[in-house]
Amino acid sequence: MVTGLDTVAPIERQSVAEQVAKKLMELVRTGSLKPGDQLPPERELAQILQVSRPSVREALRGLQILGVVKMRQGGGVYVTALEASDLLAPLQFLLELNAPTVDALHEARILVEGTIAGLAAERIDAAALARLHGLLAVQRSVLRDPVGFRVSDMEFHRIIYAASGNPFLERVGGSFFVLGMEYRRIASETPGVLERSFADHEAILAALDARDAAQAAEAMRRHMTSVYETTLAAMEKAR
C-alpha cells in the first residue's frame, strides 16, 4: 500500500473534488505516487484528506477520465502507466471534434520533430540505426497493410525521439504522435499515402546515416508537411 499519502496535509473542509484531484496529481508529479501504485481505499483517502467520500469519488472519477488512474476489476484504484496515449485521450477527443486544430498540430510538429531529427543525427548510435534499417525493410513489405504500417511507423518515430537524447523532447514528440494518429488513420487508407510516407522515411534515415543534422531536420519537416497534406486530403474526402 502507498505510504506517501500519510504525510499529506489535510485539505481544508471547504475544499471540493477538484482540489482533491490536484492534491493527488501533485503526489504523482513528485513521485510519491508512481505507475502501478494502489491508492488507499476511498474511505481511508477521505479520512487522510479530511473531505467527504463523495468528493473523493468525484476526484477519482475525473482522474480516471484523464487517464491518470484506473479501477481494476475486483476493486482497487491504481496509478496508470502514465503513457501518452492515456494522458492525451481527452485532448485527442477534442481534436476529433475540432478538425481545424490539425493546423496547429502540424505547426507544432514541424517545429518539434525537425529539432528532434536534427539532434538524433548528431547523437544516434549504431544499434538505433540498425533498428531503423530493419524497420524500413518491414515497412516495404507492409505498404498494402495500413495497420501494420502504422505500427511500424510509430516505432520508427519512437526510435528517433529516443535518439535525440533529450527526454523532454522525446515525451513531447511521442505526445504529438499520439494526437496525430487519430487523423493519420484516415489518411493511411488512401492509395499512395503509405508509399509517400515510406519514401520520406528513407530520406530521413539517409540523413541520419550521414550524421547530417540540417538534412535530417529538413527531411523530417518535409515528412511532417506530407503527413499534414495527405491527412487534410483524406479528411476532405471523408466529408
Summarised one tens digit per residue, pLDDT across range 22-61 is 888 888 877 788 888 999 888 888 888 888 999 999 989 8
Residue-range definition of the domain harbouring residue 98? 89-238
Same domain, 171 and 234: yes
Measured distance CA(24)–CA(8) in Å, rounded: 10
What is the count of structural domains for the chain? 2
Q: What is the DSSP letter of 32?
A: S
Give the containing element (helix H, strand E) for 100: none
Report DSSP state, residue 38: B
Question: Cell numbers of 157, please?
Answer: 518515430
Q: How many CB atoms lie within 10 A of CB 59?
A: 25
C-alpha grid cell for residue 40? 488507499
Per-residue pLDDT, averaged over 74-98, amounts to 71
113 and 216 fall within a common domain = yes
Reported confidence tier of residue 95, pLDDT bands at 50, 70, 90: low
Verify that 40 and 118 share a domain, yes or no. no
CB 24 within 8 A of CB 33: yes
Q: Which amino acid is at 42?
A: E
Q: Is the pLDDT of residue 9 over 60?
A: no
Task: Give the HSE-up count for residue 166: Cα atoms under 13 Å, Cβ half-sphere.
Answer: 16
Enter the pTM of the model.
Answer: 0.69
Q: What is the CATH number of the domain that holds 18?
A: 1.10.10.10
- Where do we find the cell 502540424? 106
Assigned C-alpha cell, 177: 504522435
Q: What is the CATH number of the domain that holds 187?
A: 1.20.120.530
When the pLDDT of each residue in the chain is averaged and rounded to a whole number, the result is 85
C-alpha cell at 105: 498540430
Per-residue model confidence (pLDDT) at position 116: 98
97 shares its domain with 38: no
Q: How far apart are CA 123 and CA 118, in angstroms?
A: 9
In this structure, are 66 and 117 located in the same domain?
no
Distance CA 144, CA 182 (A): 19
Percent of the chain with pLDDT over 90: 42
Residue 111: what pLDDT? 95
Cell 535525440 sits at which residue? 164
Nearest to 109 by CA among 198, 173, 184, 162: 173
The domain boundary residue, chosen from 81, 105, 129: 81
Q: What number of CA atoms fall less than 13 Å from residue 211's CA on the CB side?
A: 5
Phi, psi at 178, each rounded to 5°: -60, -45
Cβ burial, residue 88 (10 Å; 0-12/13-18/19+): buried
Verify that 146 and 37 share a domain, yes or no: no
Pick the closest to residue 196 from 158, 148, 230, 156 (CA basis): 230
pLDDT band at 13 (very low <50, low <70, confident <90, very high): very low
Residue 115 shares a structural domain with residue 213: yes
